[in-house]
Structure 1
Amino acid sequence: MKVKLILLLLCVGILGLSQNIYAQTNRTVSGYVMDASNGEALIGVTVLVKELNAGGVTNPYGFYSITVPEGEYTLIYRYLGYETIQKSVDLTEQNQRFDIRISEATEQLEEVIVTGERADVNVSQVAMSVEKLGIETITKMPALLGEVDVVKSIQLLPGVSTVGEGASGFNVRGGGVDQNLVLLDESPVFNSSHLFGLFSVFNPDAIKDVKLIKGGIPAQYGGRLSSLLDVRMKEGNSQKFSAQGGVGAIFSRLTLEAPIIKDKLSFIVAGRRSYIDVLAKPFLSDDLSNSVFNFYDLTSKVNWNINDKNKVFLSAYLGRDRFEAADLFGSNWGNRTLSLRWNHLASEKMFINTTAYYSNYDYRLEVGNPEEDAFDWKANIQTYSVKPEMTYYLNANNTMTIGARATLYEFAPGETAAIVAGQQLPPFGMPLMYGLESGVFVGNEQKVTDALSLQYGLRLSSFTYMGEATTLEYADAEEPGTRRQPIEGSEVVYDKWEPITTYSNLEPRFSVKYQFNELSSIKASYNRMAQYIHLISNTTASSPLDIWYPSTNNVRPELADQVALGYFRNFKDNMYEASVEVYYKDMRQLVDFVVGADLLLNTYLEGDLMEGIGRAYGTEWYLKKTRGKFNGWISYTLSRSERKTMGINNDEWYAARFDQTHNLSLVAIYELSKKWNVSSNFTLISGTPASFPSSTYEIQGYSPAHNPSNMRNNYRIPAYHRLDLSITYDPESKRRWDGEWVLSIYNVYNRRNPFSIYFQPNADRRPENVVTDNQAVQLSIIGSIVPSISYNFKF
C-alpha cells in the first residue's frame, strides 16, 4: 500500500500540474553563481524572486534555474558569509541567463542587518535530517594535534557518533560504519580514515563543501542504509595563482591552485605527508631503525569550462597508510579514486550531469622475513560506475530529477602467499567475486502552496551476483547461532560474468514540509534503503583489514525503513537556529556472526554468517548560533540501537556495539579580535556496550573468565568525555603572504577515556595453592593531554 501511495503521489504531482503550467507565457532565468575571488561555484546559494517571494537554490555545481510568468523582476542572491546582490531582470520578451560573481562580506554581521535578508534555509527547505558544515567553520574548531578534520567535525553533530579514538569511520542513527555512503566528488571512499581513525582522508585545504544526510535521502542516492556524506572538492582558482598549507606536529600539507587559461581551465593539487617515523627514528633501537610509520595523500582536480553549456571536471585521490617494523611485520592500506563529470545545459530548464568513476580500496599484511619464514596477505575492492542524471526545472514550483546508475564490483576477499624455511608455498585464499549493482530513479521537489512543500521519488535498484564462481548450499545449523556446514554435492560452477542470483528492491522516498511562518516549520520524511555489499567485521570497531563482501545466493541484501519527524524554529532574525527530530529505523537481513566466527581466508565464510534484524530510534536536539563574534552549537542525542539474531543473546534483543544512549556535544567559537580567535569542544557520551564475563571457574590454579549466560553486550564501559581548546593568532599581514599560528590542547583535563576493557589473569605472584584471580584491563588510545602548535599559511 505504501508503494502504491508513493507512485500515486508521484504521478499526480508531476502530471496533474500540467493544467496550469502553460496557462500563461512563462520565462526562465538561469545561470551559475561563483565566488568572485577565485571562480569557485557556490553550492546552496538562495536565488529569490522578490516580487513573487519564490525562487530556488544553486545545485552542487552552482547552477540555478527559475521559471516565472513573463514580467520585470528583482532577483536577490544571498549566501551566508557573502554580500547580498540584487539584480533587475526583464523577462517580458525572452529567457535570460545571468552568471553571477559574489564577494565575501567584509563585515558579515552588518551586511545581514542592513539588507534584512534572513538565512532561514533550515526552516524553508523541504529536506530534513541534513547537516552542512562550511569548511570555514571546520577550520576554526579544535582538533587533535591541531590538524583540521572533516570526519571528526561531523561527529559533533546530532545523531553522529563513533565508538572511540582509534575507530575508523563514524556511526549515524544506530547504523554501522559500512552503512554510510561516503563520496568524494561522487566517487565512493571505502575507508575514510588515516592512522587507524585518528585522522580522515580528506585534506581540508582541498574541500569546498561537506553535507551529511541522515534521513529523507533523495532518490538519486542508494546503496547504504544509514547516511550519505557528500564531500565536494574545490575546483581550482580560475582567476590567479594561490597556495596554502601548514606545518604541524605530525604532518605537513601544501595546496596549489591556478588558472591554466583564465576563466576557462584551472586546477588544484593538494598533498599531505606525515613524519611520525622521522621524528621517532632517534628513539628506536638499531634493529628497528628501518621502520616506517606514515601516511600520505594526494588530491587533485582539473576544471574545464568548455563553453556556456558544457563543463568537465576530472578529480583524483590517492592515499596510503604504511606501518612497517623492520623485518617483523608490515601493513599498508589506501584508497584510489578517479571521477570524470560532464555538466551539460540542454536548455535553460534542463541540467544534465554525467559521472563516471573508478574506486579501489586495497590492504596488505606482511609478517616475517622473506628469506626465512614469511606470510603475505592482500585483499581489495574495486568499483567501476557510470551515472547519468538530469535535473529539469519544470516551473517555479517543480524540480524533477531523473537518472540511472550502473556499478560493477570486483571483490578480492583475500589472497595469501607463504614462505617456510626459505621455500615458497603455493598461494591460497578466496577467489575473486563479481557483482553488478544498478538503479533507476525519478524524483520531484514540489511547492504545493506557500506553506506546503513536498519532495518525493522512487528508486528501483537491483544487484546481480556473477561468476566466475563455485557456489555451495549450507545445511541448517545443529543449534541456532552455531556454524553451518556445506552440503556435500551442492557445488554449482558458473562461468565468468554468468549471473548466479539477482535481488531487486523498490525504494520509495518521501518528505513533506509545512511552514507555519518565516521562522518555523514542521517536517516529516520516510525512506527505504537497500544495501548490497557488506563489511565483514566482528570487532569493536572496524579495522583496515576487514573485508568487503557482496550479496550472494547465501547472503541477502540488508534493508532499512526510516521515518522521521522534526520541528524547526529560528529566533532573533535567524541568528539562532533550533530543531528537534525524532526517528525510528527498522532494519532487516543484517549480517551477524556465529560465536567464534572465522572471518579471514575462510573458504566457507558464508557458513559463519547469520541473518538478524535491527532497530534504532531516538531524538536529536540542536541549537546553533550562526552570527556574531560568539557562535557555535549544542547538540544532544538520546537514542538506542539494538539487534536480534536467533541463537545469539538467548534470542533476545541486545544493544549494538556502537549503541550510545546519551551523546552531548558543545562547540563554541569566539572572535576576541581580528587577530585572536578562541574555540572549544566538549563531548560527553555514554559508554559503548561490551560482553563481559559474569563468572569464573577453577582449573589448574587459574580462574578463567566465563560468560555462561550467553549474553552479548551485557555491560557498558565507562562514559567518554573530553574537552578541547584552541587559540588562533592571525597577525593580518597586508603582504601577499598570510600566516596564522594555532595552539591546540586535546583532552585538556587529561581524561583517560577507555576504548575497551578486557580481562586477563592477575600478574602478581600468588602463594602456593592460591588460585590466580582475574583483573580488568582498560585500554585507552589517547589517555593523556595532547598539546600541539601548528602554522598555517596562504598566499
Structure 2
Amino acid sequence: MANFSYAQKRFTISGTLKDLSTGETLIGATVRIKELPQTGTATNSYGFYSLSASAGEYTLLYTYIGYETISKKVSLQQSQTINISLSPKSELTEVVISANRPNNDNIASPQMGMEKLNMAQINNVPVLMGEKDVLKTISLMPGVKSAGEGNTGFYVRGGASDQNLILLDEATVYNASHLLGFFSTFNSDAIKDVSLYKGGMPAQYGGRLSSVLDIKMNDGNNQKFTAQGGLGLISSRLKVEGPIVKDKGSFMISARRTYIDMFLKLSSDSVLKGSSLYFYDINAKANYHFDDKNAIYVSGYFGKDVLGLKKIFGTDWGNATATVRFNHLFSNKLFSNTSLVYSNYNYTIQNFQSNDSYKATSKISDLNFKEDLQYTINDKHLLRFGLNVLHHTIAPGEISSPSTSSFNNKTTERRYGLENAIYAGDEWKVNDKLTVLYGLRLAGMFLLGPGTFKTYDAAGNALNATAYRSGQSVKNYVNLEPRLSASYTINEESSVKASYNRNTQNIHLLSNSTSSRPTDLYVMSSNNIKPEIADQFSAGYFRNFKENAYEFSAEIYYKKLQNQIDYKDGAQLIVNPDVESQLTYGDGRAYGMELFLKKKYGKFNGWVGYTLSKTERRFDAINNGSYYPARQDRTHDVSVVGIYKYNDRWTFSTAFIYGTGNAVSFPTGKYNVGGLTTYSYSERNGYRQPATHRLDLGATLESKKKGRFQSSWTFGIYNVYGYKDTFMITFRDSKTDPTKTEAVKTSIFAAPIPSVTWNFKF
C-alpha cells in the first residue's frame, strides 16, 4: 500500500532499459507503478524513460514482450535514476505479434494509425527467395498497399509512393529497393525496431503527406562477440557484433550480397556471360556511453545495384547514409538527442550501342541537423520539441555522349534548397479516461540559387527567366502543420479515438511509369511547383478480447490533398531543363475504412486486415477536369497472415493477399501514320487490371543448439498456386487481322518460387 504522507512532494524516476544479454536498448518497453495504474510510460527510441509520482512506497513494473518482467520496490523520497536490464525468456512457447505490452495499450494510447513491428514477426512471414523483408511485411497491414510485383514501393491511405518518409536511423532513404523492387534495401539482420505512422503523425515528423516509416538499426552487443548469417539460393548475409568496451560501447557490421551474376558467368550465351545482375549492402553502427548522461552513436548504410547486358546497356543505383547522434541527459526529466545526418541517392544509365551511346546520371543529397528534446513535466504531460535544418542538393540529370552519337550532351542545372522546421507536441493525460496528443509544426522551404529559374503558364510556355546568385533566395514557402489526436477509454476493453493532422511536402517525385523506378526524377518546390498539402481526418473504435490476447480496430479516414502534381500527356521527364513546363497541378481526395483483427499470443496467431477505399485526383488538363481514379486506387485490399509454432523446433507460416487491380489507361482507338499504329486514349485510368492475389507458405526448422552455435533452415514457397499476376498490359495489332487490337499481358512470376535458406548464429 502506497504511503501518501508526502503527497505534497513529487519526485521523478528515470533511467534506461536494456537487454541483459546484448546491452541493446529496448524501444517501447513499459514502466508502470503498480499502485497507480494510470501512471506509466514507455521508453523512447534510445531506451530512456522518465515518470513522476508523489513521495511514497511503490512497486515498479518493467515489461517488454519476449522478456521476463521485473518488479522492483522503490522508496520514493527523492528523484533517482534506475537503469534496468531485462532477461529474454529462455523458451518462447508462442510467437508474439506485437511489441507492445500485454495490457490495454491498444485502448488507452492516443496514437492512431500506428503499426509497430518486431523482428520476430518479420522473420516468420514468408517472402520471396527467403529474404526477410520489412517493406513486404508492412504491405500486409490494412491501409498499406503494395505497388505490385517487382516493386518495393507502397501506398498509404491513398497517397503516392513518394509521399512516404522512409527513415533509417533518422536518414532519409529515397529509393528503398534492390533488383528493380524485388527486395528492399533493409537487411533484417541489422534492424531492431520498425514503426509505421499512417495517421495522427506526431509533430516531430514532417516532410511527407502520407506516412512515416521509422526504422532503427541494432546498436551491437556490448557483452560478447557474436556472428550470424545465412546462405540462400540467390544471396548470403553476415552480421558481426561485439563490445568496444564491455557495458559501455559496442559495434555492429552487417553485409549482404546476391550472386545471380555468378550463375550468368556459367551461361553459354556470350551476352549473358558478360552481363551484370547483383546488389550488395552494408549496415554499420557503433556507440559509446561516456557515463549515464552522455552517449554517442555513429551509423551508416551503403547499398548499390548493378544491372546490365554486355555491350548493350548498363545501369546502377545506390543509397548512402551516415548519422552521428549525441544523447545528453540534462536532468532526470529532460532528454536531448542531437543529430547530424547525411543521405545520398544516385543513379547512372549507360547505352553502349555505337549509334546511340550515352551516359545519363542523376542524384539527390541531403545534409540535416536535428535537435530533439523530451521533457517529462509531470505524470500528466510529456513534452517533445525541437528543430531541424535540412539542406537539399538535387542534380536532376545530365547526358554525356560521344560526337558520333545521335544524343546531344545535355545538363540540367542543380537545385539547392533549405527545408527547416520547429515543432512542439504534448501528450496530456487529462484524466483516467481521456488522453490527448497535440502539437504544432512550423515548416519552411527556401529555394536557393545559383541558377536560372523560369516561370511557366498553364500551357507550358516560359513567361520569364531570372538568374540568381549562389545562396540568393528564389522562392519561400512557410506552412503551419497542426496535429491532434485523442483517445477516450469506454472501459478496460474498449475505446474510441479521433485525429486530425496537416502535412506538407516539398520534395516531389516525377514519374510517368505505373511503378517506382530507379530513374524517377526528384524536384523541389519552386516558383512553379507549390508545396503539396494533405489534411487527414480519422476516427476509430478499438477493442481488446480475452485478456488482451486479441486486438480489433475499425478506422475510417478522409484525406484532402492540395497542389498535387502530374505530368501532361506525352511529357518528357528525363534530362529536360524545362521539366516543370511538362507538369500540371490539381487536387485529390482519399477516403476509406480499415478493419484489423490480430491475435498476439499462443501457439497459433496472426492477423486479418481489410481495407475498403477510394483514391481520386483532379486536374484541369486531364480528363476534362473531372475526378479520376489515381493509379494506386484499389477498392478492396485483403491480407491474411497466420503463424503456427508447432513445437520448439518447427514454426509454420502462411500469407494470403487479394486486391482490386490497378487503375490504368487503355486505348479506345487507333490510327495509322506512315505505316505505324498510334493509339488514342479517351480518359485517364478509366480501366482496371485484373485483380491480384497470391498465397505464400513458409516453415522454419530450428536445429539443436551445440554450445554457442545454433542454426536453422527456412523453407518457403512464393506464389503457391502459380497465379500469373499482371505486371503490365501492352497493345499491338493482331498478326492475322491488323484492324483488330490484341492486349498482351506480362507477368513476372508464372509459377511457384521455392526457396531455402540456412541460417546460423554463434
Q: Do these two structures clear the TM 0.5 threshold for a shared fold by scoring above it? A: yes
Alignment correspondent of 1:79: 64
Alignment correspondent of 1:437: 419
Q: Distance in 1 between matches of 2:220 and 2:713?
A: 25
Q: Distance in 1 between matches of 2:410 and 2:57?
A: 73
Q: Counterparts of 1:306-345 in structure 2 under 5 Å?
A: 306-345=290-329
Contact kept, 8 Å, 2:417 with 2:447, in 1: the verdict is yes
Q: Distance in 1 between matches of 2:594 and 2:57?
A: 44
Q: Is 1:749 matched up with 2:725?
A: no
Q: Distance in 2 between matches of 1:652 and 1:772?
A: 32
Contact kept, 8 Å, 1:162 with 1:658, in 2: the verdict is no
Of 671, 687, 692, 2:661 maps to 687
Q: Is 1:269 matched up with 2:261?
A: no
**What is the Cα deviation at residue 81 of structure 1?**
1.3
Q: Counterparts of 1:240-639 in structure 2 under 5 Å?
A: 240-368=224-352, 374-421=357-404, 427-477=409-459, 484-487=460-463, 490-639=464-613
User: Structure 1 residues 426 and 595 mapped into 2: Cα distance closer, same or farther (>3 Å)?
Assistant: closer
TM-score (ref. length: structure 1): 0.92
Q: What are the superposed Cα offsets for residues 55-113 of structure 1, whole Å, 9 maximum, x if unpaired?
A: 10100110000011111111001111111110011112x2111110111123556999x
Contact kept, 8 Å, 1:408 with 1:436, in 2: the verdict is yes
**What is the Cα deviation at residue 685 of structure 1?**
0.5
Contact kept, 8 Å, 2:68 with 2:89, in 1: the verdict is yes
Alignment correspondent of 1:758: 730
The letter for the 2-side match of 1:84 is: T
Q: Distance in 2 between matches of 1:303 and 1:627?
A: 34
Q: Distance in 1 between matches of 2:648 and 2:169?
A: 34
**What is the Cα deviation at residue 119 of structure 1?**
3.0
Q: Counterparts of 1:57-206 in structure 2 under 5 Å?
A: 57-92=42-77, 94-107=78-91, 118-206=102-190
Q: What are the superposed Cα offsets for residues 572-616 of structure 1, whole Å, 9 maximum, x if unpaired?
A: 011101101000000000111111111111111111111110101
Q: What are the superposed Cα offsets for residues 163-210 of structure 1, whole Å, 9 maximum, x if unpaired?
A: 311124211111111100000011110011111111110110010000
Contact kept, 8 Å, 2:94 with 2:604, in 1: the verdict is no
Q: What are the superposed Cα offsets for residues 651-695 of structure 1, whole Å, 9 maximum, x if unpaired?
A: 111000011110000000001111111100000010001101223
Secondary structure, aligned partner of 2:456: coil
Alignment correspondent of 2:3: none
**What is the Cα deviation at residue 494 of structure 1?**
0.2
Alignment correspondent of 2:756: 789
Secondary structure, aligned partner of 1:463: strand
Q: Distance in 1 between matches of 2:689 and 2:200?
A: 33
The letter for the 2-side match of 1:176 is: A
**What is the Cα deviation at residue 471 of structure 1?**
1.4
Q: Distance in 1 between matches of 2:724 and 2:606?
A: 26
Q: Is 1:657 matched up with 2:631?
A: yes
Q: Distance in 2 between matches of 1:594 and 1:453?
A: 47
Q: Distance in 2 between matches of 1:780 and 1:476?
A: 38
**What is the Cα deviation at residue 758 of structure 1?**
1.5
Secondary structure, aligned partner of 1:282: coil
**What is the Cα deviation at residue 281 of structure 1?**
2.2
**What is the Cα deviation at residue 772 of structure 1?**
4.1
Secondary structure, aligned partner of 2:121: helix
The letter for the 2-side match of 1:737 is: F
User: Structure 1 residues 108 and 244 mapped into 2: Cα distance closer, same or farther (>3 Å)?
Assistant: closer
User: Structure 1 residues 630 and 422 mapped into 2: Cα distance closer, same or farther (>3 Å)?
Assistant: closer
Contact kept, 8 Å, 2:539 with 2:555, in 1: the verdict is yes
Q: Distance in 2 between matches of 1:400 and 1:200?
A: 35
**What is the Cα deviation at residue 475 of structure 1?**
3.0
The letter for the 2-side match of 1:73 is: Y
Q: Counterparts of 1:220-231 in structure 2 under 5 Å?
A: 220-231=204-215
Q: Distance in 1 between matches of 2:316 and 2:672?
A: 42
Alignment correspondent of 2:695: 723
The letter for the 2-side match of 1:550 is: M
User: Structure 1 residues 195 and 701 mapped into 2: Cα distance closer, same or farther (>3 Å)?
Assistant: closer
Q: Distance in 1 between matches of 2:57 and 2:562?
A: 54
Q: Is 1:775 matched up with 2:742?
A: yes
Alignment correspondent of 1:8: none
Contact kept, 8 Å, 2:610 with 2:639, in 1: the verdict is yes
Secondary structure, aligned partner of 2:22: coil
Q: Distance in 1 between matches of 2:95 and 2:49?
A: 23
Contact kept, 8 Å, 1:746 with 1:786, in 2: the verdict is yes
Q: Distance in 2 between matches of 1:793 and 1:677?
A: 17
**What is the Cα deviation at residue 780 of structure 1?**
1.2
Alignment correspondent of 1:19: none
Of 159-168 and 623-632, more deviation after overlay is shown by: 159-168
Q: What are the superposed Cα offsets for residues 495-533 of structure 1, whole Å, 9 maximum, x if unpaired?
A: 011100100000000010001122111111110000001
Contact kept, 8 Å, 2:135 with 2:152, in 1: the verdict is no
Q: What are the superposed Cα offsets for residues 315-361 of structure 1, whole Å, 9 maximum, x if unpaired?
A: 10000000121121110000000001111100000000111100000
Q: What are the superposed Cα offsets for residues 682-732 of structure 1, whole Å, 9 maximum, x if unpaired?
A: 00010001101223456788865432xx31101100000000001111122
Secondary structure, aligned partner of 2:36: coil
The letter for the 2-side match of 1:441 is: Y
**What is the Cα deviation at residue 303 of structure 1?**
1.0
Secondary structure, aligned partner of 2:744: strand
Q: Distance in 2 between matches of 1:699 and 1:365?
A: 31
Secondary structure, aligned partner of 1:642: strand
Q: Distance in 2 between matches of 1:111 and 1:635?
A: 19
Q: Distance in 1 between matches of 2:492 and 2:414?
A: 56
Q: What are the superposed Cα offsets for residues 456-495 of structure 1, whole Å, 9 maximum, x if unpaired?
A: 0000000001100111122342xxxxxx1112xx221100
**What is the Cα deviation at residue 734 of structure 1?**
3.5
Q: Distance in 2 between matches of 1:415 and 1:400?
A: 46
The sequence identity of aligned pairs, in percent, is 46
TM-score (ref. length: structure 2): 0.96
**What is the Cα deviation at residue 428 of structure 1?**
2.2
The letter for the 2-side match of 1:178 is: D
User: Structure 1 residues 448 and 257 mapped into 2: Cα distance closer, same or farther (>3 Å)?
Assistant: same
Contact kept, 8 Å, 1:168 with 1:191, in 2: the verdict is no
Secondary structure, aligned partner of 1:420: coil
Contact kept, 8 Å, 1:534 with 1:549, in 2: the verdict is yes
Contact kept, 8 Å, 2:722 with 2:749, in 1: the verdict is no
Contact kept, 8 Å, 2:607 with 2:642, in 1: the verdict is yes
Q: Distance in 1 between matches of 2:332 and 2:673?
A: 80
Q: What are the superposed Cα offsets for residues 281-320 of structure 1, whole Å, 9 maximum, x if unpaired?
A: 2225124422111000000000111111011100100000
Q: Distance in 2 between matches of 1:230 and 1:771?
A: 53
Q: Distance in 2 between matches of 1:376 and 1:51?
A: 69
The letter for the 2-side match of 1:408 is: H
Q: What are the superposed Cα offsets for residues 434-453 of structure 1, whole Å, 9 maximum, x if unpaired?
A: 01000000110010001000
